[in-house]
Structure 1
Amino acid sequence: MKLNLVPARTGLAWFRAGLRTFWRQPLAFSGLFLLFIAMVSLVGMLPYVGGVLALTLLPAATLGFMAATREAASGKFPMPAILLSAFRAGRQRARAMLVLGAAYALGLVLVMGVSALADDGQFARMYLFGGPITAELANSSAFRNAVWISMALSIPLNMLFWHAPALVHWHDVPPVRSLFFSFVACVRNFWAFTLYTLAWSGLGLLVAFGLILLTAVLGQTAVLGVALMPVSLLMGAMFITSIWFSFQDSFVVSDPDAGAAPAEA
């Protein structure tokens, strides 16, 4: 396995592949995404350790959705059990995935800790433990600074973990090395990932503008509130469906069948 450098336009191909694959089986992927959210949310509700444990399981849960996309792209129907792929590939890889998850949880906590320096931890508490954004918070410059700091620091964190779960699961790469390879792949394919991000951001803005326009035309502000949640879930499901394609094109595997077994186990 080695790094594959792709042209910038490949980012748009990932975007289109995610949309195309999702709309081939929209009900299946919507159901899987709801199950994905439900799994993480239920774990997060556990007292004391729920929030940290949910963060620890995020890489494994994301890997499960990547496996589902891989199945659908090959013409198969992804069953709900595929979301547990990370824990069905043997103890060694399951343990490595949990180590990766613990590193992600630690990284995110550190990001929130740095952001807390700007607003005494108001944003960090809201993000990690939940709570509404009040008008007072939204108008607070300290709170906005904390949001911007967390967003800036989340970029390198996401680059470290973008490909890491797939590298650990399908190619048996140790967790620390997977983080390094993931970061390098994102940096070397910077323009492809930039176009990929812009495409999804543009679609998100277009959908938001459409909802606002529909609300204005109908003259019913309740429309926005009713439609926001299902539309957000739909957008999230389409986006996460595209992640597999960015991994698939970022690395060249000498043996095409290498790592196939874990997804089928």
Structure 2
Amino acid sequence: MNETTEFPLEPAPFNGESREVDPGACFDWLQQGWTMFLVNPGVWIGSTMLLLIMLMAISIVPFFGQIAAHLLVPLFGAGMVQICRHMGDERQAEIADLFAGFRHNAGQLVMVGVFFAAGVFGLAFIAFLLVSGGVFGGVVTGKIAGFGIALGGVMLAGLVVAILSVPVIMATWFAPALVFFHDMKPAAAMRASFDAGAKNWLAMLIFGVFLVVALFFAMLPLGLGLLLLLPIFSGAVYASYRDIFVGT
């Protein structure tokens, strides 16, 4: 005898499944980020100012402050996408939402931060070894040839860091949203984030290039452009998460 199907059916549990989108979708994400900023500029600017002040204050402490700041990035990232969700659902967003990651799944988000910090400082250490090796070799060799060796060391360091940073960025790009919204474990969230980035590598590449260029110009007027860039970027990340992941 067949079992009776009960309605309404339970929704399928979220498993981090992602889909491939058109590369041009990245421009739609940015447009949505801008639109989301216009919904409530006051909350966005207030949240961004508070975030930057806190991160700068923490980073003042030599070495350990830098580590702490990187560990907290996923927690604040969860807060920024929470602001996005409230605005997207036409609910009242508040500056206090910036700390939502400290109230839900904080430990799991910190573990994502551990991976992020390990990747960043690991890459910095590799770059230091390559650059210092090139400079030392340049000093030993002589003036003209030494300059070429030193420059080669710097270029090699930049190339290696750029290549190795890609998997770190891909694994942590969507992880805060997946951990915060769907209670995924850090390892599973980072694997799902990496898979989503790999499926949509061209869209993510275009988005990343735009971000780097925009960051350069945002830093020119004493970094004041970050008050606009970070909210738009957060809204675009949220839009890409909703676009790429199935069941969100």
TM-score band by shorter chain is 0.7 to 0.9
The structure 1 residue matched to 2:239, chosen from 245, 250, 255, is 245
The structure 1 residue matched to 2:228, chosen from 210, 230, 234, is 234
Structure 1 counterpart of 2:170, one-letter code = M
Q: Which has the larger radius of gyration?
A: 2
Aligned to 2:79, the other structure's residue is in SS state helix
Aligned to 2:179, the other structure's residue is in SS state helix
Q: Contact between 1:14 and 1:242, CA under 8 Å: does it hold in 2?
A: yes
Aligned to 2:21, the other structure's residue is in SS state coil
CA distance in 2, matches of 1:249, 1:10: 9
Aligned to 1:229, the other structure's residue is in SS state coil
Q: Does 1:116 align with 2:131?
A: no
Residues 180 and 41 of structure 1: CA distance in aligned 2, closer, same or farther (over 3 Å): same
Structure 1 counterpart of 2:124, one-letter code = M
Residues 94 and 112 of structure 1: CA distance in aligned 2, closer, same or farther (over 3 Å): same
Instruction: Report the Cα offset of residue 228 of structure 1.
Output: 4.6
The answer for unaligned runs of 5 or more in structure 2 is 1-13, 134-149
Instruction: Report the Cα offset of residue 108 of structure 1.
Output: 1.0
Residues 232 and 98 of structure 1: CA distance in aligned 2, closer, same or farther (over 3 Å): closer
Q: Does 1:19 align with 2:13?
A: no
Query: Counterpart in 2 of 1:84?
Result: 99
CA distance in 1, matches of 2:244, 2:60: 36
CA distance in 2, matches of 1:145, 1:228: 30
Instruction: Report the Cα offset of residue 170 of structure 1.
Output: 1.2
TM-score w.r.t. the length of structure 2 is 0.77
The structure 1 residue matched to 2:64, chosen from 43, 49, 52, is 49
Q: Does 1:100 align with 2:112?
A: yes
CA distance in 2, matches of 1:97, 1:229: 27
Instruction: Report the Cα offset of residue 177 of structure 1.
Output: 1.2
Structure 2 counterpart of 1:12, one-letter code = F
Instruction: Report the Cα offset of residue 152 of structure 1.
Output: 3.0
TM-score w.r.t. the length of structure 1 is 0.72
The answer for unaligned runs of 5 or more in structure 1 is 122-138, 209-223, 257-265
Q: Which stretch has the larger CA shift, 149-158 or 100-109? A: 149-158
CA distance in 1, matches of 2:159, 2:92: 40
Identity %: 24
Aligned-residue CA RMSD (Å): 2.7
